[in-house]
């Protein structure tokens, strides 16, 4: 067998040769990568020269390049276009890689060299000094200073967590794909979904957000809304072979034990020690600051939606969670004369991609050219080359925009290769994954305003990878603390609503007419509508995330009862559920670390992004070149080369405050 991982890639810009890679190639490549990586580590630890920054820290940074290439390709394919073969490999590889990471991070001889260099406090350039500090910290947080017995237990925990969280993700994918609401009568299908939902003479609503949310918004059939909503809320909680509740109990207990082995009272304390917030108390203080205004707004919204429901002669039962989106659309239409379906013809997918590219050009001088010659892993995937103002190559961007059963739900950015200069001028290869409904051939993909916002959000992440300008790969791009990583993505959302962007790209897919000013005015007037609901469902998930990771004892908690009890404590409105119930909360249970005790970071970053965008507003120009240059230098290009608060203060000239966020939400 010719394995493409064992040869140099001769593709343009050395992109992965997807047309040659087969599932059978991965396991041999993983095993060889592990062997090579361990031999590189041995060369460091047996070096007779005294430990120095080049022969220990930089050497460690260079090690494992082959294994990283294999793991990056596999991880992306398994998330974006998986199959039973890849899933079986994932189950085998997850504990294998966890064990390999432990073998390196708990290697006493290796840590002795890292510790020795750290103790020397050598005079280094700023980025090298940051690398030394972060490398030492990562070893300590991985257990390098523990006694041998504790190290063995920590390694076993990490191996178990890798397997359990991988199983959680596979269960969720299977449980989501297993459900279909079959509608034989076209009259029961909202008109805007008929084209994308049609299948073999009937119509199908799935549990992908791009299918289920529009159905809940637009279907007048209360019984069907309830059926679909309850299935959506129960993903991973159906008592079948895909049920995730037992996995959650194990994951939570193992994380707690891991944190306590490292000297922390609970996992939340361990997790936030390496963050901008620093402590769970600081992060929860932000949630608490938002909760009461959000609750008051949600209560006002509940009253409005209840009035709309009763106006239709429905008074029992009262407003339910499966009613919210439907009556919210009715109230929006009544209050603002705005039907979100009116906007979709003006937001075709291709226009929104071009809009995201155009903003990057105006701010940072990037240009994107379609590269149909590059291999892709699915026919729906597109590839572009990014170049700078001088025409020099910057990186490759892949866009994978459509939902399919082989792709996990949600939207995310990932990297096939990080930018760096340590091993030469290595340019980045990044990807965006979204889950829009693919229309029949010949029809355009029309996005809601929220869909377009998500596209801009993920492209902000992509720019964080593409614009990285650092030396060391572990400090590159999105390799930053969790409550900073959402800042570059969330600030990018702001440009979607800029008049210059909408006038140029929000064009009717048939007539090319611009978005009518009156429709835009209605959208702006309604921008804070339903914000109470949106904030409550998000904050509730953040609170429950913390509660799981604040546990300090060995009790295996009942997932449903615990979740319900914590929601009762915060006064969760009956008519709203968490954005992510625990059995399908992949952010916190779908990977060994992920956003565990860190889901708050989206709101933490919202403070940063609204305050940061205000710098442009204060200039009166959303494309002010001086502010854009600072945004590039201190946010998008800097990666993890400095403490994020220092970077923010360098950009803004001060620490952030919540004023802009509270104004943007309509809470003041």
On the CB side of 348, how many CA atoms lie within 13 Å of its CA?
16
Angstrom distance (rounded) from CA 158 to CA 540: 28
| Residue 421 CB partners (closer than 8 Å, separation 6+) | 470, 471
* Residue of 169, 301, 340, 458 with catalytic role: 458
How many Cβ atoms sit within 10 Å of the Cβ of residue 85? 12
Angstrom distance (rounded) from CA 453 to CA 356: 10
Helix H or strand E segment including 101? helix 84-105
On the CB side of 89, how many CA atoms lie within 13 Å of its CA?
22
Q: For residues 619-633, b (16+ Cβ closer than 10 Å) or e, as one string? A: eeebebeebbebbbe
17, 148, 375, 646 from 10: Cα distances, Å: 8, 45, 12, 41
Nearest to 214 by CA among 223, 199, 203, 225: 225
**Alpha helix positions (H), 475-600:** 482-485, 487-493, 499-505, 517-525, 531-550, 559-570, 586-589
Percent of residues in the chain assigned helix, strand, coil, to nearest 5: 60, 5, 35
**Residue 553 region, left (φ>0) first, then alpha (ψ -120 to 50), else beta?**
beta
Three-class secondary structure of residue 622 per DSSP = coil
Query: Packing angle between helix 644-652 and helix 601-619, nearest 10 degrees?
Result: 20
Greatest C-alpha distance within the chain: 84
Give yes or no for a contact between 668 and 290, defined as CB atoms under 8 angstroms apart.
no
Q: What is the phi/psi pair of residue 391, to 5°?
A: 85, 5
**Residue 14 region, left (φ>0) first, then alpha (ψ -120 to 50), else beta?**
left
What sign does the dihedral 637-642-645-647 (CA atoms) show? negative
| Residue 2 CB partners (closer than 8 Å, separation 6+) | none
On the CB side of 72, how many CA atoms lie within 13 Å of its CA?
19
Active site residue 312: no
In DSSP terms, 387 is beta-bridged to 367, 393
Q: How far is CA 104 from the centre of its chain?
A: 27
Active-site residues: which are they? 458
């Amino acid at each position: 067998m010719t394995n493409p991982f064992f040869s140099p890639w001769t593709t343009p810009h050395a992109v992965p040769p997807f047309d040659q890679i087969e599932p059978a190639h991965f396991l041999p490549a993983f095993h060889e990568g592990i062997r090579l990586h361990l031999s590189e580590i041995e060369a460091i630890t047996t070096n007779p020269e005294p430990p120095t920054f080049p022969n220990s820290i930089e050497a460690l940074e260079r090690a494992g390049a082959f294994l990283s290439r294999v793991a990056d390709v596999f991880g992306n394919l398994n998330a974006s276009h998986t199959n039973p073969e890849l899933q079986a490999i994932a189950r085998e590889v997850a504990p294998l890689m966890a064990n390999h990471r432990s073998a390196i991070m708990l290697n006493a001889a290796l840590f002795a060299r890292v510790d020795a260099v750290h103790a020397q406090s050598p005079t280094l350039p700023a980025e090298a000094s940051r690398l030394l500090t972060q490398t030492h910290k990562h070893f300590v947080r991985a257990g390098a200073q523990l006694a041998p017995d504790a190290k063995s237990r920590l390694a076993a925990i990490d191996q178990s967590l890798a397997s359990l969280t991988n199983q959680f993700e596979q269960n969720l994918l299977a449980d989501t794909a297993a459900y279909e609401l079959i509608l034989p009568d076209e009259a029961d299908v909202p008109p805007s979904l008929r084209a994308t939902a049609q299948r073999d003479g009937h119509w199908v609503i799935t549990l992908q957000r791009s299918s289920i949310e529009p159905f809940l918004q637009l279907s007048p059939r209360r019984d069907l809304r309830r059926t679909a909503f309850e299935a959506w809320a129960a993903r991973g909680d159906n008592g079948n072979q895909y049920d995730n509740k037992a996995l959650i109990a194990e994951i939570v207990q193992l994380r707690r034990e891991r944190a306590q082995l490292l000297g922390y009272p609970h996992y939340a304390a361990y997790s936030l020690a390496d963050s901008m917030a620093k402590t769970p108390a600081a992060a929860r203080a932000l949630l608490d600051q938002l909760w009461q205004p959000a609750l008051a707004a949600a209560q006002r919204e509940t009253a409005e939606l209840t009035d709309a429901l009763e106006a239709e002669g429905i008074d029992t039962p009262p407003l339910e969670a499966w009613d919210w989106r439907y009556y919210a659309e009715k109230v929006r239409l009544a209050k603002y004369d705005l039907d979100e379906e009116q906007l979709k013809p003006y937001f075709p997918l291709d226009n929104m991609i071009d809009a995201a590219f155009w903003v990057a050009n105006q701010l940072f001088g990037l240009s994107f050219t379609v590269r149909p010659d590059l291999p892709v892993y699915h026919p729906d995937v597109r590839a572009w080359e990014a170049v700078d103002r001088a025409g020099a190559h910057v990186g490759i961007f892949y866009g994978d925009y459509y939902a399919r059963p082989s792709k996990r739900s949600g939207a995310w950015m990932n990297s096939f290769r990080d930018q760096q200069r340590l091993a030469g001028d290595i340019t980045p290869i990044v990807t965006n994954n979204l889950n829009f409904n693919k229309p029949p051939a010949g029809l355009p993909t029309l996005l809601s305003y929220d869909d377009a916002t998500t596209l801009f959000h993920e492209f902000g992440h992509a720019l964080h990878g593409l614009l990285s300008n650092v030396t060391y790969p572990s400090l590159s791009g999105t390799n930053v603390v969790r409550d900073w990583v959402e800042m570059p993505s969330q600030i990018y959302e702001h440009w979607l609503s800029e008049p210059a962007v909408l006038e140029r790209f929000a064009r009717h897919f048939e007539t090319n007419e611009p978005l009518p000013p009156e429709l835009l005015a209605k959208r702006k007037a309604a921008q804070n509508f339903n914000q109470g609901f949106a904030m409550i469902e998000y904050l509730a998930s953040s609170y429950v995330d913390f509660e799981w990771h604040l546990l300090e004892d060995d009790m295996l908690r009942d997932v449903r009862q615990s979740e319900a009890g914590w929601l009762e404590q915060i006064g969760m409105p009956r008519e709203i559920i968490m954005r992510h119930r625990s059995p399908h909360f992949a952010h916190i249970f779908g990977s060994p670390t992920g956003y565990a005790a860190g889901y708050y970071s989206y709101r933490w970053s919202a403070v940063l992004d609204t305050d940061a965008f205000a710098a442009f507003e204060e200039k009166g120009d959303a494309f002010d070149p001086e502010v854009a240059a600072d945004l590039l230098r201190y946010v998008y290009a800097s990666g993890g080369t400095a403490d994020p608060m220092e970077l923010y203060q360098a950009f803004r000239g001060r620490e952030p405050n919540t004023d802009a966020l509270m104004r943007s939400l309509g809470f003041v």
